[in-house]
Amino acid sequence: MDRVKTGIAELDKMLNGGFMQSDAVMVAGSAGTGKTTLALQYLFNGATQNGENGIYVTFEQLPDQIYRDAMNFGWNLRRLEEEDKLRVVCTSPDLLLEASDGSRLLDEPIRQVKPKRIVIDSLSHLSMYVEETNLRKDAYQLLMYFKTKGLSSLSIWETPQLIGQTFSVTDVGLSFLVDCIVLLRMVEIESTMRKALVVMKMRASDHDRRLREFEIESDGIKVAGPFTHYEGILTGSARRSLTDDAAKAMAEAFGTRREKAHE
Amino acid sequence: MSNLSKEMRISEKLLGSDAKLEILELFHKSPGLIDRIDGVSRRIGRTPPEIEADLKDLIGIGVLFTRTIGSFEVIYFDRKKDAEVQKQISNLLREGG
């Protein structure tokens, strides 16, 4: 089955080639972790590298900052809009959810750009306009609408900065509605704040389950190697892995004894 | 002659009020804005009654159009029509010297 590539080479490898087509993906993370950057990169790369047009839905009062931030990475969204490869839709959450007569707000931009990808920035913003009891139903209907239109959706969810041994991605039960969850975290390692990424869930597909370090560089997100020498990273306060150190010490000790025996 | 009159009428309508220019500026900055009249007015710091007539003019020209979504009337921006109107106005200004 063809995959929906993010265009971020290492992330695509982690996803076994990319997201599954028409899947609902959630990118969760606290403020400043790079959720919007990842979402914009996903849309820009889709339109410019894979011929997959996109729609970016924002609930900001004015989306100027989105155009500006994207331009800082060299992603000219206005040009993509002129070429009918992208739409930055700026609207209100209640309008996005409205579907009482069968027509939806996004029918028009979908007709115009024939997108394959859509980003919702953000599902957590949307949740502020909906009663908690209705949120799951409304979010489910919206995600199903995207699937019936053949869209691979990526919804952003803002989590609080969580410190502790256990946590859930969302506290309103949205995790089970989505097919894939990518979690972004700030972590403190040796007095430095670093960024970690993990694919927490991916239905019907194998994927890399390791925590990987990533950075936001001048041309977007770059995913690096796994945090092999640390544990407790998701608690936000990682420590060097004792088992690694112990294994190293044992190997050294064993190696020294063997060398002595050979002398 | 009739073409020129049409262009003049359009430019008169477009340049007829500050609110109209503010609405146009808003949609030029955010061409993907889709909202109700109260949302549009809030984004430019005005009230719905203040911009109602101006919106009607812009819808009449075709730069904006509406769709009914559920119980709401929603306003969209037509980029192609806007580019067309801008071209007409620049022609008018050139010909008018």
B3-94 fold? Arc Repressor Mutant, subunit A (1.10.10)
* Chain B residues with beta carbon closer than 8 angstroms to that of A87: 32
Q: With bands split at pLDDT 50, 70 and 90, how would you rate the model's confidence at A170?
A: low
Q: What is the DSSP letter of A237?
A: B
Strand positions, DSSP E, chain A:
3-4, 19-20, 24-29, 54-58, 86-90, 117-121, 152-158, 180-189, 192-202, 212-217, 220-226, 230-231, 239-240
- Residue A256's pLDDT band, with cuts at 50, 70 and 90, is low
**In Å, how far is A190's CA from the nearest CA of chain B?**
43
Model-level ipTM above the cut of 0.95: no
**Cα A88 to Cα A26, A84, A214, distances in angstroms:** 19, 11, 26
Q: Which of B32, B36, B43 has its CB closest to that of A89? A: B32
Residue A50: beta bridge partners?
none
Distance CA B73, CA B94 (A): 38
Q: Which of B31, B35, B67 sits opposite A92 (nearest CB)?
A: B35
Percentage with pLDDT > 70 across chain A: 86
How does residue A164 score in pLDDT terms, banded at 50, 70 and 90? very low
Largest CA distance in chain B: 48
Rounded to whole angstroms, the Cα distance separating B43 from B77 reads: 15
Q: Higher pLDDT residue, B1 or B12? A: B12
CA atoms within 13 A on the CB side of A222: 7
Chain B residues close to A63, C-beta within 8 Å: 30, 32
Q: What per-residue confidence (pLDDT) applies to A165? A: 44
pLDDT of residue B96: 67
Q: B89 pLDDT band (50/70/90 cuts)?
A: confident
Most confident of A5-9, A201-205, A231-235: A5-9
The helix/strand/coil state of B10 is helix
Going from N- to C-terminal start, the domains of chain B cover 3-94
Interface membership of A109 toward B (CB under 8 Å): yes
Tell whether B33 is within 8 A of chain A (Cβ).
Answer: yes
**Which residue do the tokens 């839709």 mark?**
A89
What's residue B1's pLDDT? 46
> Taking 70 as the threshold, does the pLDDT of residue A128 lie above it?
yes
Tell me whether A99 touches chain B (CB under 8 Å).
yes
> Which residues are within 8 A (CB) of A158 and not within 5 positions of it... i.e. 6 or more apart?
A28, A29, A30, A31, A35, A122, A124, A125
pLDDT in tens, B11-65: 677 777 899 999 999 999 999 999 999 999 999 999 999 999 999 999 999 999 9
B67 touches chain A (CB under 8 A): yes
Contact assessment for residue A130 and residue A137, using Cβ atoms and an 8 Å cutoff? no
Q: Calculate the alpha carbon distances from B5 to B1, B8, B54 in Å.
A: 6, 5, 20
**Whole-prediction pTM:** 0.87
Which residues of chain A from 157 to 216 reach within 8 Å of chain B, CB to CB?
none
Closest partner CB to A108 (pick from B26, B39, B76): B76
